[in-house]
Amino acid sequence: MAGGIFAGMFGSLMALGFPIYLVLGLTAAALLWMDATPMVSVTQKIVDELNSQTLIALPFFVVAAVFMERGGIARALIEAAMSWVGRVRGGLGLVCVIACMLFSAMAGSSVATALAMGTILVPAMLRQGYDRHFAAGVVGASGTLGILIPPSLAMVVYGVLADESIPRLFLAGVIPGLLQATLLGGWAIYYANRRGYPRTEKATMDEFVRLNVRALPAFALPAIVLGGIYGGLTTVTEAAALSAVAALLISLFVYRTVTLSDVVPLLASASYKAASIMIIIVVALVFGHWVTESGVASAIVQFVQAHDLKPWHFLVVVSVMLFLLGMFLEVFSVMLIALPLLIPLLEPFGIDPVHFGIIVVINMEIALLTPPVGLNLFVLASITKAPLWDVIKGTTPFVVLMFLLLVLVMVFPQLSLWLPNAILN
Tens digit of each residue's pLDDT (9 = 90 or more) over 76-122: 888 888 888 877 887 889 999 998 998 888 777 888 888 888 888 88
Residue 357 lies in a domain: yes
Residue 364 lies in a domain: yes
- Could you give the angle at the alpha carbon of 73 between the alpha carbons of 69 and 78, nearest 5°? 105
Residue 14 lies in a domain: no
Residue 2 lies in a domain: no
Q: Quick one: residue 150, left, alpha or beta (phi over 0 = left, psi -120 to 50 = alpha)?
A: beta
* pTM strictly above 0.75: yes
Question: In total, how many domains does the chain have?
Answer: 1
**Rounded mean pLDDT of 259-271?**
89
**Structural domain of 100:** 19-424
Residue 137 lies in a domain: yes
Quick: pLDDT tens for 134-186: 999 999 999 999 899 988 889 998 998 888 999 999 999 999 999 999 999 99
From residue 190, give the alpha-carbon distance in Å to each of 136, 168, 256: 17, 34, 37
Position 340 scores a pLDDT of 82
Quick: pLDDT tens for 8-51: 666 677 667 677 667 777 777 777 777 777 767 667 766 776 77
DSSP states of 369-425: TSTTS-HHHHHHHHHHT--HHHHHHHHHHHHHHHHHHHHHHHH-THHHHHHHHHHH-
DSSP states of 106-144: HH--HHHHHHHHHHHHHHHHHHTT--HHHHHHHHHHHHG
Residue 1 lies in a domain: no
Q: How many Cβ atoms from other residues are within 10 Å of residue 127's Cβ? A: 9
**Nearest-angstrom CA–CA distance, 106 and 222:** 5
Residue 261 lies in a domain: yes
Residue 234 lies in a domain: yes
